[in-house]
């Protein structure tokens, strides 16, 4: 007489489903909490970047000049490396005189001039030093808060720490979306419009890309 196949225990099946449901909910809310503020920032700056040509900016330009002390001029000799930073004493003096932070930025050394490019989110700046006379010229252009946030969106001139944040934020968004997809799968039986809405979210950008982007 053939053996009768055993039926899955409904209690154990329900417990397994409850375990995965709790786990997915936990990962879903943790990842959403981690990426909430970043998601809001990227959503808002996505709109401002999409309409950048319509948003007027009023750049603020600051110019400063100074003269290096004669005692520091011998430190401006051509370094062995082409893009070496300024000597620490020179960078410290310039920071105090011009109210700027130079750090260990690489500089462009030529026969008669030292040039530093100092871009940052929402701003551009440069500094030039005449190696013979010690004349210093500094200029900084501020483009406003919208430009600042737009550059953070793109990771432009924001430094390695912000780059790490973007990586962590991207991973949190992936976890949020993937756990959300599994939660949709678990609840799809009670919500008949689940997969049509998911398909619509895929179909609309696909059609826009195929029909209107050339």
Q: How many CB atoms lie within 10 A of CB 189?
A: 8
Domain boundaries, the chain: 19-55+155-206, 60-143
pLDDT above 70 (res 7): no
CA atoms within 13 A on the CB side of 183: 15
152 with 158: CB under 8 angstroms? yes
Cβ pair 144, 58 in contact under 8 A: yes
> Tens digits of per-residue pLDDT, 72-90?
999 988 776 668 899 999 9
pLDDT tops 80 at residue 66:
yes
Q: Over 60: is that where the pLDDT of 4 sits?
A: no
């Amino acid at each position: 007489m053939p053996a009768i196949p055993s039926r899955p225990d409904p209690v154990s099946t329900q417990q397994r489903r409850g375990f995965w449901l709790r786990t997915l909910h936990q990962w879903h809310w943790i990842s959403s909490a981690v990426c909430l503020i970043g998601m809001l920032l990227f959503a808002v700056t996505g709109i401002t970047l999409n309409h950048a040509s319509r948003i007027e900016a009023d750049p603020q330009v600051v110019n400063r000049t100074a003269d290096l002390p004669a005692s520091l001029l011998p430190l401006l000799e051509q370094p062995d490396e082409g893009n070496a930073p300024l000597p620490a004493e020179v960078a410290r003096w310039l920071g105090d005189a011009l109210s700027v932070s130079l750090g260990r930025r690489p500089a462009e050394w030529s026969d008669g001039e030292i040039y530093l490019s100092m871009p940052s989110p929402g701003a551009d700046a440069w500094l030039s030093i005449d190696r013979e006379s010690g004349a210093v010229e500094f200029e900084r252009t501020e483009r406003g808060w919208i430009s600042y946030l737009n550059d953070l969106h793109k990771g432009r001139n924001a430094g390695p720490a912000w780059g790490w944040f973007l990586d962590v934020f991207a991973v949190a968004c992936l976890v949020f979306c993937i756990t959300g997809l599994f939660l949709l799968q678990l609840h799809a039986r009670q919500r008949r419009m689940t997969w049509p809405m998911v398909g619509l979210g895929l179909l609309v950008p696909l059609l826009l890309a195929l029909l209107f982007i050339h």
